Structures are given as C-alpha cells and as structure tokens.
C-alpha cells in the first residue's frame, strides 16, 4: 500500500551522480539489490560499465547495480539529484507512486517541493556528509565516484528509523545516525554546510584557507547563519559553527565550489538563498550572507 513500504519493494537511487553513485554502490556492496534511475547518459553508462568507487574510507570497487530511466512502481526511493534536477525527479516520482522517499539533498526547501509533488507518500529528508565528486571523464567506462577523507555520515530523523531505505543504509559502511526531528536533521547540516560551501566557493580555496581569507567577514557570516538556525529551532552560536568547521579537514572542498569553478551556480540558491529567505521570514538581518552570495555570483559573471 502507498506510504506503507513493503520489505520486497525495489530499492532505488534517483540521480546517480557523486552522492547517488556512492550510495548505490554502498548499498549493492552491503547486499541490497538496488536500481539507479537517472537521465539517459548516466543510465546507459551504469548499465554498460557499472559504478567505480574510490574511497579513502571504504576502498575501491566497481558495483553493477541495475539502471533504469523510470522509477519502478511502489519503490523505496533515495533521491540524490541536485536542486536543479528536483522538478524532473519529482515528476518521475509522481508517476511511480513510491512507497517511501528519502531525500539526501543539501538545503531545506526540497522537502516541501517533494511533499507537494507526492501527496499521500511518506517523504523524509535525511542528510549525507562526505566529500564526493563524480570524476568520470566520458561515458566509455564506469561512472566513477571519488570519496575523499574519512567522513561519511547519513543522518535521518528519529521517526524515519523504519524506512526501508534507512534500514538498508544501516547495513552499509556509512555511519548512519537516526535521531532528532525533521527540522533538526536539516538544520544541523545546513548550519555548517552553508558557510562551508559559500566560503570555499567565494575564495576558491579549501575550508581552512577560506576561513582565513577574511576572518571578520567569516565570523559575521557564522553569526548570521547561527541566528537563522536558532530561529529554525536548532540553537546555535557562531562559536558552535566555528568549532564544527575547525573539526573538518582544512583541505575539504564543497560540491557548490566544484560547480562554481565550472561556471555553474549549482545550489547557490538552494543553500545560500534558502538561508537568506528563512532569515527574512524570522526578521534576522543577513548582510554578511548577502555579501558572500554576491561575491560568489560575481565569480560566475
């Protein structure tokens, strides 16, 4: 029945990019039959050559999941597209009447968009942390995914413990934490991801250097993001965020930065714009955030 995942429902990863490819390969390696669904080029590539993962944490291997252009009816779906692919993903999902959906996108606004497209379906937003890039140069070999560093954590809300996708992810090498409310899960990630992604993109540098380029500006940005996160129900100070960022590898880079470097806005709006909009709705002024976003936009001109 819709909304009540059956244990035999197909497990699908929608969007075999960096994160989707890694997640699909991890699931397959853990013994879960998985199908990746995506656009024609990636689907054909995975069907022909599989997904090759190179991970500092879990090693290198090639997975051979099934690949399809449509989501099978009644599937349990993990969504790993970027914000710009969300509308197309929602349309594919709506046609499939999925049993359950777990989205792993960064940002916060994708959840409402997916829920609006899928009335009656259980849609939950988790988060994933782990520096990952799709590195395949062409389509003649496997879709290749590079996972850098030791961080690989999936977080899902406490009430999502029973989702088939969450249970399957728990069998993988990822550290899976199931705790907190929906809002907490999203904001515990976005509160550090937003400054991390924006500063690395602004300065085109690893996290350590990005924090040092304009310490006063970075401090002001952290204070504003902390104020918005607090208003969203996750009490946070600039010091908290500084401590979280200081605990990440100074060489760490972000997926937004990779897009900006390639001349694409990527998820600038889904990450920075979302914090601006939530700030405005709470009456939190965000001048440092506005300046940082404008500086990233200037890099794109």
Please give the residue ranges that form the binding site for ligand NDP (CB under 6 A): 15-20, 38-39, 41-42, 80-82, 84-85, 88-89, 104-106, 128-132, 134, 255, 267
Q: Compute the distance between CA of residue 63 and CA of residue 124 in angstroms, rounded to an integer.
A: 26
> Between 5 and 85, whose beta carbon lies closer to ligand KPL?
85
> Between 82 and 191, whose beta carbon lies closer to ligand NDP?
82
Q: How far is the CB of 129 from ligand NDP (least distance, A)?
A: 6
Q: How far is the CB of 169 from ligand KPL (least distance, A)?
A: 15
> Between 134 and 191, whose beta carbon lies closer to ligand NDP?
134
Q: Which does 196 bind (CB under 5 to 8 A by kind): ligand KPL, ligand NDP, none?
A: ligand KPL
> Between 192 and 203, whose beta carbon lies closer to ligand NDP?
192
> Between 132 and 144, whose beta carbon lies closer to ligand NDP?
132
> Between 124 and 223, whose beta carbon lies closer to ligand NDP?
124
Q: How far is the CB of 190 from ligand KPL (least distance, A)?
A: 10
Q: Which does 231 bind (CB under 5 to 8 A by kind): ligand NDP, ligand KPL, none?
A: none
Q: Which does 85 bind (CB under 5 to 8 A by kind): ligand KPL, ligand NDP, none?
A: ligand NDP
> Between 129 and 222, whose beta carbon lies closer to ligand KPL?
129
Q: How far is the CB of 152 from ligand KPL (least distance, A)?
A: 9
Q: How far is the CB of 165 from ligand NDP (least distance, A)?
A: 15
Q: Which does 242 bind (CB under 5 to 8 A by kind): ligand KPL, ligand NDP, none?
A: none
Give residues with Cβ within 8 angstroms of 58, minimum separation 6: 26, 147, 152, 173
User: Could you list the residues that contact ligand KPL (CB under 6 A)?
Assistant: 106, 129-131, 193, 196-197, 254-255
Q: How far is the CB of 188 from ligand KPL (least distance, A)?
A: 12
CA dihedral sign of residues 159, 162, 163, 166: positive
Q: How far is the CB of 248 from ligand NDP (least distance, A)?
A: 12
Quickly list DSSP for the chain.
-TTS--TTSPEEEE--SHHHHHHHHHHHHTT--EEEE--HHHHHHHHHH-EEEEETTTEEEEE--EEESSPPTT-EEEE---GGGHHHHHHHHHHH--SEEEE--SSSHHHHHHHHHSTTSEEEE-EEEEEEEE---SSSS-EEEEEEEEEEEEEE-GGGTT-HHHHHHTTSSSEEEE-S-HHHHHHHHHHHHHHHHHHHHHHTS-HHHHHHHSHHHHHHHHHHHHHHHHHTT----HHHHHHHHHTS-TT---HHHHHHHTT--TTHIIIIIHHHHHHHHHT---HHHHHHHHHHHHHT-
């Amino acid at each position: 029945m819709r909304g009540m995942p059956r244990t035999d429902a197909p497990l699908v990863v929608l969007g075999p990019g960096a994160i989707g490819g890694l997640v699909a390969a991890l699931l397959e390696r853990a013994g879960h039959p998985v199908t990746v669904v995506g656009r024609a080029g990636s689907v054909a590539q995975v069907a022909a050559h599989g997904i090759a993962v190179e991970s500092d944490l879990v090693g290198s291997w090639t997975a051979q999941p099934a690949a399809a252009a449509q989501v099978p009816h009644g599937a349990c779906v993990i969504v790993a597209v970027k914000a710009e692919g969300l509308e197309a993903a929602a349309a594919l999902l709506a046609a499939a009447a999925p049993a359950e959906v777990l989205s792993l996108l960064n940002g916060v606004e994708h959840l409402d968009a997916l829920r609006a497209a899928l009335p009656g379906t259980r849609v939950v937003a988790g988060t994933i942390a782990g520096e990952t890039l799709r590195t395949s140069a062409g389509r003649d070999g496997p879709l290749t995914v590079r996972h850098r560093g030791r961080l690989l954590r999936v977080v899902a809300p406490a009430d999502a413990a029973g989702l088939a996708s969450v249970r399957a992810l728990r069998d993988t090498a990822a550290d899976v934490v199931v705790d907190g409310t929906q809002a907490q899960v999203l904001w515990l990630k976005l509160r550090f991801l937003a400054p991390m992604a924006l500063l690395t993109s602004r300065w085109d540098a690893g996290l350590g250097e990005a924090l040092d380029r304009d310490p006063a500006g970075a401090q002001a940005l952290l204070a504003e993001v902390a104020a918005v996160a607090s208003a969203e129900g996750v009490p946070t100070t600039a010091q908290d965020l500084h401590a979280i960022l200081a605990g990440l590898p100074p060489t760490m880079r972000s997926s937004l930065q990779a897009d900006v470097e390639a001349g694409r806005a990527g998820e600038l709006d889904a990450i920075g714009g979302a914090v601006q909009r939530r700030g405005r709705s709470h009456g939190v002024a965000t001048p440092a955030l506005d300046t940082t976003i404008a500086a990233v936009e200037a890099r794109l001109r």
